[in-house]
Amino acid sequence: MKFFSALKELVVTLVLAVLIAMILKFFIVDSCKILSESMATTLNVGDRILVFKLAYHFEEPERGDIIIFQPPAEMDEGVDFIKRIIGLPGETVEVRADEGVYINGSLLNEPYINEIPNYNFGPVTVPENSYIVFGDNRNRSADSHYWSYPFITFDDIDGKAILRYFPFNEMTVFKSLEY
């Protein structure tokens, strides 16, 4: 009898553990592997991050947030994209080759980028409920400057990157940046 009681307890515990893990993965926190160099050197190919799926149920997206989102239809390769939010609703965004990103006419301080952009973009004004996103590896990123319609909407966002956990020696908690 003790054997069957212990077996029953083990099965119930395993089923509950699987259910909790599934709820966490699908609704709260997910893990992603970086597949491209578009966010180098902040995130490199092979890095693994945790994404908080409920982040924007509690706060508004901010400039500097690293997000996971559904790519535009023209870029849909069956995987989510990861980029940094640069332009917020109502702002005018312009990229000047060999200078950088301008928000409402002011040069944006971006210590995280891999290199200064070698292209021009805009100026464009970000519509309501939309964002402009760029990879930190600006010259090698299929992002807002590259797409025919340069905006993603709030509904496209799947979550906010909160932690790089692999490689272990480069573990990083992503914080909001001051602009």
Q: Which residues are catalytic?
A: 38, 83
Q: What is the largest CA-CA distance in the chain?
A: 77
- Provide the b/e sequence for 51-82 (b: ≥16 CB within 10 Å): bbbebbeeeebebbbbbbbbbbeeeeeeebbb
Residue whose C-alpha is closest to residue 23's, from 3, 50, 53, 45: 53
Cβ atoms of residues 173 and 163 within 8 Å: yes
Q: How many angstroms separate the Cα of 41 from the Cα of each of 13, 50, 74, 166?
A: 42, 18, 26, 14
- Report the C-alpha gap between 132 and 126 in whole angstroms: 7
Q: How far apart are CA 33 and CA 157, in angstroms?
A: 17
